[in-house]
Chain A
Amino acid sequence: MTSFDLTDGVRSLNQHLQQPHDAATQITAVNAKGKHAVAVGATQLHNITIDGNVGYYCGGMNQHAHIHVKGHAGPGLAENIMSGSVRVTGNAAQYCAASGHGGSVVIEGNASARCGVSMKGVDIVVRGDVGHMSAFMGQSGTLVVCGNAGDALGDSIYEARLYVRGTVKSLGADCVEKDMRAEHKEQLRALLQGAGIDDLAVDEFRRYGSARQLYHFDVDNASAY
């Protein structure tokens, strides 16, 4: 077990995560106290536990590492995550998993506005609610919302898949409800299981995605652009 005290900054931890190691290491980081850029740019498998709340961009551009934040996370949690996982016991502020290319992100509490904005392959599971404009321009990957979704869910969405258990305040441009077929239930079941959620049934969720009506510029869609 390697321990880092973040009182004096995040440099030592981040350097450690970006250096080659022969084997995965167990890491704890204490005294995060809202610091920004905690555990960013990891390049290989580590199991990292961060005690306390983190600021902006925790787990940014993560590759392979598994990061567990025992607290709340500020904006841009796991932005551009490539692989591995990031889990937060509390809430996540806006832009959670923005532009994430892969890996998984689990929020045990709520996620604020623009959760999964510009997502490109990441799988996100939010136990609570998500704010407005979530999955805006979502390209691929999956957003699972066990609570409710705010305004303009999936606005200008491409091929990302959205599953919402509660209410959706409104859908964004070109985002529509779609059938829940067997393969979708299977995918959702696996994502919930991976997130450690075993008290919810997949039948309680609805699926949303792109109507693909805005994929080509068309004057008849001018009001939607």
Chain B
Amino acid sequence: MTDTSWMRESATFTRPVIAEIERAARTGIYDIRGFGARRCVPCFDDLLLLGASMSRYPLEGYRESCRTDVVLGSRFASKPLHLDIPITIAGMSFGALSAQAKEALGRGASMAGTSTTTGDGGMTAEERGQSKHLVYQYLPSRYGMNPDDLRKADAIEIVVGQGAKPGGGGMLLGQKISERVAHMRNLPEGIDQRSACRHPDWTGPDDLEIKIQELREITNWEKPIYVKIGASRPFYDVTLAVKAGADVVVVDGMQGGTAATQEVFIEHVGIPTLPAVRQAVEALQELDMHRTVQLIVSGGIRSGADVAKALAMGADAVSIGTAALIALGDNNAEHEEEYNKLGTSAGFYDDYQDGADPAGINTQDPELAARLDPVEAGKRLSNYLKVLTLETQTLARACGKSNVNNLEPEDLVALTIEAAAMAGVPLAGTQWIPGQNPL
């Protein structure tokens, strides 16, 4: 074997970079994949919570209550959502996911007392049937969109953008356009389906205000209306969403997942969740709408620590997508042999677009999809949501909070200058918030 220990690898042309150039030269088409951004960006790991000590006292971990419920959509809707926990399931389509996976998401969310969300392609009976609280996404493609389902939903989420690809439309490759998916979306079976990047009947915030009025008229002013944006200019986008009449704003950072997007889009467009939360909260505060219009944050939420930090920064709730799929069984090592056959390994699998997911989640292949037991997978998701909630409560109690939503920026410090600047909290051990006050 050649001794490579003395060789110096290029920092610019790393082996993955070389491999991608070779792949592009070989195929002539950009790389499309699922999952989310792999690059390292400042995130909630770069923040720490300040536990209570002399100046404030903590709550007893197993004795004193710490509320976790949250009301979403109380601004204008006559029937806001009242969830048991501030952790919701993000929109993921039937088409990208199997019907079994959608059902499992509904089951898990319902057991944990929270909401799940449809996705591009409309609402499935399985999902509606198993979801106590179901948010109906209203997307540019309007695939599967119909007023009956709109009225069956518990809330409506107008999707303007997605953290993995702000400004981009969707795609669902032909391998996943099964007969049922094609029928629901009114498309020929087996084609590579494109989803528009802009809504077909409104452009800009003034139109959106009228669109929201129409949706409220059609649903009797009952349903909370969310506006979801991919984080790129969250201060302005949140401001405009509030002006347009949103009850809830969802801000999805660049670590948010996708079922199929160009690699270059996933890794190079949008901003991380960390600064997006701060800018969104600042917009709400400037409008005096913080806590009146609720803020849901998504994009890379993995643990109760992430949840607690997002809430401390001012979010009312968070949303999870990739983590929920992992809880169902995505990338589980039990499928290692099959991942190897696909040229990958458990923990690295991201070719969701190909529809060959051994875990039966990101697929429309009936045999693969049948591998996922919606009841067992739903239980795993419920367990995971409960752990996230317990962890969040643990941290909130340590900070002396009897309600997880009482966590506040004062409970946070940052480990790096970058994170301090992005989150708007002091660098640990200092009073310094870069960009806000002098040393």
Instruction: Report whether A40 and B28 are in contact in the complex, using a CB–CB cutoff of 8 Å.
Output: no
Known: A101-B186, A159-B188, A217-B29. A80 touches B207 (CB 8 A): no
Q: Binding site of B, secondary structure by majority: helix, strand, loop or mixed?
A: loop
Cβ contact within 8 Å between A139 and B186: yes
Task: State the CA gap A18–B174 with chains docked (Å).
Answer: 38
B410 contacts the other chain (Cβ, under 8 Å)?
no
**B residues neighboring A (CB under 8 Å):** 27-29, 141-142, 145-147, 150, 173-174, 185-188, 191-192, 194, 196, 200-202, 207, 210-211, 213-214, 217-220
Is the pair B188, A118 in contact by a Cβ cutoff of 8 Å?
Answer: no
A41 contact set on B, CB distance < 8 A: 147, 217-219
C-alpha gap A222/B27 in the complex (Å): 13
Task: Give every chain A residue within 8 A of B147 (Cβ-Cβ).
Answer: 41, 43, 61, 63, 80, 82
User: Does B142 contact A14, Cβ atoms closer than 8 Å?
Assistant: no
Residues of B within 8 A of A128 (CB): none
- The answer to whether B214 touches A118 (Cβ under 8 A) is no
Q: Give the docked Cα–Cα distance between A76 and B173 (Å).
A: 29
With A37-B210, A75-B207, A215-B188 already in contact, the answer to whether A99 and B200 are too (CB < 8 A) is yes
Chain A residues near B201: list those with CB within 8 A: 57, 75-76, 79, 95, 98-99, 117
Chain A positions within 8 Å of B29 at CB level? 217, 219, 222
Chain A interface size band reads 35 or more
> A75-B201, A137-B194, A158-B187 known; A11 and B217 CB under 8 Å?
yes
> CB-CB < 8 A to A37: which residues of B?
210, 213-214, 217
Please measure, in the bound complex, the distance between the C-alpha atom of A80 and the C-alpha atom of B138, giving whole angstroms.
12
Contact of B200 among A14, A117, A156 (CB under 8 A): A117
Whose C-beta in chain B lies nearest to the C-beta of A118?
Answer: B200
Residue pairs across A and B with Cβ atoms less than 8 A apart, 15 shown, are A10-B217, A41-B218, A56-B207, A56-B210, A56-B211, A60-B218, A75-B207, A95-B201, A118-B200, A140-B186, A156-B194, A216-B191, A217-B173, A219-B27, A219-B29
Q: Is A121 an interface residue (CB 8 A)?
A: yes
The reply on A127 being an interface residue by CB < 8 A is: no
B210 with A217: CB separation less than 8 A:
no
Bound CA–CA A196/B128 (angstroms): 42
Residues on A with beta carbons closer than 8 Å to the beta carbon of B185 = 139
Is A87 located at the chain interface by the 8 A CB criterion? no
**Which residues from 7 to 35 on chain A have a C-beta closer than 8 Å to any C-beta of chain B?**
10-11, 14-15, 18
Say how far A92's CB is from chain B's closest CB, in angstroms.
12
Residue in contact with A118 in the complex, picked from B27, B141, B202, B220, CB distance below 8 Å: B141
